[in-house]
A and B are shown apart, each in its own frame.
Chain A
Amino acid sequence: MSTLVLDAVSRWYGNVVAVNGISMTVGPGVTGLLGPNGAGKTTLIALMAGFLSPSAGTVTLDGRQIWRSTEVHRTIGLVPEREISFGYLTGRQFVLANAELHGLADPGAATERALGVVEMTEPAGRRIDTYSKGMRQRVKLASALVHDPGVLLLDEPFNGVDPRQRLHLMGLLQRMGAEGRTVLFSSHILEEVEQVARQIEVVVSGRHAASGDFGAIRRLMTDRPVQYVVVSDDDRRLAAALIAEPSVVGVTVRGVTVRGVTVSGGTVSGRGGLDLAVSDLGSFAVRLPRLARDAGVRIIELTPTDESLESVFAYLVST
């Protein structure tokens, strides 16, 4: 079990603060590091990989400091964003070189194993400069796995990778996490993080904006109402009943055309429906069915519209 601990870490370059007092703990399993471009994700990963020294605070792996420790690289596998420029080597030669540099007892076997994991055994005999982007990414991953690290750090691993290989990569990361490794990957694309990591760390402008399960983060934001769309067979009657509820903050009728411009978009069923803003999710969830039954309205569809990471992100970034 390897745990990365960042304790009030800051990093500045002259006047520019790239990372501002971030404290986080990255434990076993898959963690997604989420943030817009320029938020400090690569800086954080560099700090965790030992290629950057914190201007303040400490970065430790199981209690040992990472900066300027050559031994720590035995436990950490880094997949940087940068392209491999060793185009003149074949995939196998590159991974083998990495294995040898780690001082492994049997570099050849480790190489084959790593290539097998990323499913690159067959093209491994070709030169890297003949590879597609996705294949290069997999070779990079193989080179980071060859020494069986307890910690895997990936900087934007899904950048420019085609959908099929992305799925494969996602499955791989989930398997690594399930094996008990500490996997951290960064991305600015919400769908990727959403599908692979349930635990996320959100970094915005060098600051640690949120951490934890994103559904839980969402529920923590109680000052902003949760949005729902409900479609029933009598919207107006339901609306009248709902507005009397204390947990409902706002009701808007959808599909209304005002002066030729449609006020709100359609739903899955294609019917109008109501936009609801709810302040107390728990009591609303209990009250809604009773309300509907008392009003004699049948609910056809109930969809939360902002439980996705997208909306979490939007709230955090928009300030």
Chain B
Amino acid sequence: MNATIARLSFQALFGRRRGLVLMVVPALLIGLAVLIRALTEQGVGYELVDNVGFTLALPIVALLASSAVLGPEIDDGSIVYLLAKPVPRHAVATSKYVVAWLATLAFGAVPLLVAGLVIDSSDPRRALAWLVAGVVAGTTYSALFLGLAALTRHAVVVGLLFVLLWEGLLGGLLRGIRWLDLGAWGIEVGASVSSLVPPPGTGLTYALIASAVVALGSVWFAGDRLRSFTLRGDE
């Protein structure tokens, strides 16, 4: 974990236009929650948190954050400035991951709590459950997308395909997908906090272990890819 690299990644994230979109997404979510609460009574529209916040907004925020801290620098080769240093590659990957992870939690997971509380302040446990689900899923999502960003230039599209097609479309059709569905693992953990969150049924232990494995593995993978980074010339 290297503070300078973390600082540089933080500046990369918020020094670009991406930073704005990162904040627009949760703002929309919370704004809508406020609007709904103002126009209706308590507890109405909780599916906003689940269907929009957790299924769509959280992965999008994680994707934006992870691809912003690693993608552009690898794309145009200027990551060589960070690698031509006596800093272990895994430290570089970990530092970048921490920044992406914190951004995902701040702009993806915490808004779930806020929106949940806004819509239904009488059941904070439920909102907390969604926060926990968001934290777990956000941790895994941001790690996976970081690994993808280190692997291919098309990380963004692949990440989107994964979230939207695999988890979204197919996950809704085939029950078995839940064993390989990062979002489902997050919900499983959230379900242990509040009974109002429907568990997908993979069991708490599996969900926690699987999330940890994917998260750690992805960050390690990203570091490994950085070790083998090659400088390409014009040939």
Interface residues on B, range: 20 to 34
Query: What is the minimal beta-carbon distance from A206 to any residue of chain B, in angstroms?
Result: 9
Contact B11 A89 (CB under 8 A): yes
Pick from B72, B87, B230: contact of A101, CB below 8 A: B87
A83 and B231 alpha carbons, distance in the complex (Å) = 13
Query: What is the minimal beta-carbon distance from B80 to any residue of chain A, in angstroms?
Result: 5
- B8 adjacent to chain A (CB < 8 Å): yes
Q: A74-B86, A89-B11 are in contact. Are A41 and B233 (CB under 8 A)?
A: yes
Contact B235 A86 (CB under 8 A): no
Question: B1-37 vs A: 1/0 string, CB under 8 Å?
Answer: 0111101100110011000000000000000000000
Those of B139-182 within 8 Å (CB) of chain A: none
Q: A43-B233, A82-B77 are in contact. Are A97 and B86 (CB under 8 A)?
A: no
Q: Which residues of A contact B83 (CB under 8 A)?
A: 51
- A78 adjacent to chain B (CB < 8 Å): yes
Interface residues on A, range: 35 or more
Pick from B15, B86, B231: contact of A73, CB below 8 A: B86
Question: B76-94 vs A: 1/0 string, CB under 8 Å?
Answer: 1110111111111100000
Query: What is the minimal beta-carbon distance from A84 to any residue of chain B, in angstroms?
Result: 6
Q: Which residues of B contact A38 (CB under 8 A)?
A: 234-235
Contact B88 A70 (CB under 8 A): yes
A73 and B72 alpha carbons, distance in the complex (Å) = 23
Contact B78 A40 (CB under 8 A): no
Query: What is the minimal beta-carbon distance from B228 to any residue of chain A, in angstroms?
Result: 8
- A103 adjacent to chain B (CB < 8 Å): yes
Contact A46 B16 (CB under 8 A): no
Contact B235 A43 (CB under 8 A): yes
Contact B85 A98 (CB under 8 A): yes
- A37 adjacent to chain B (CB < 8 Å): yes
A73 and B82 alpha carbons, distance in the complex (Å) = 11
A102 and B4 alpha carbons, distance in the complex (Å) = 10
Query: Residue among A43, A45, A82, A89 with the most chain B CB within 10 A?
Result: A82
Contact B72 A85 (CB under 8 A): yes
Those of B60-101 within 8 Å (CB) of chain A: 72-73, 76-78, 80-89
Contact B78 A42 (CB under 8 A): no
Contact A80 B80 (CB under 8 A): yes
Contact B231 A46 (CB under 8 A): yes
Question: A82-124 vs B: 1/0 string, CB under 8 Å?
Answer: 1111101100000001101111000000000000000000000
Q: Which residues of A contact B232 (CB under 8 A)?
A: 42
- A277 adjacent to chain B (CB < 8 Å): no
A97 and B3 alpha carbons, distance in the complex (Å) = 10
Query: What is the minimal beta-carbon distance from B230 to any residue of chain A, in angstroms?
Result: 5
- A33 adjacent to chain B (CB < 8 Å): no
Query: What is the minimal beta-carbon distance from A37 to any residue of chain B, in angstroms?
Result: 7
- A143 adjacent to chain B (CB < 8 Å): yes
Pick from B86, B89, B234: contact of A71, CB below 8 A: B86
Q: Besides A37-B234, A43-B233, A70-B85, 12 other CB < 8 A contacts? A: A38-B235, A45-B231, A51-B80, A68-B227, A71-B86, A73-B85, A78-B80, A80-B77, A83-B78, A85-B78, A88-B15, A88-B16
Q: In the A-B complex, list the 3 residue pairs whose CB atoms are closest, starting with the nearest.
A: A42-B233, A88-B15, A46-B231
Please give the residue numbers on chain B whose beta carbons come within 8 Å of chain A beta carbons, in ascending order.
2-5, 7-8, 11-12, 15-16, 72-73, 76-78, 80-89, 227, 229-235
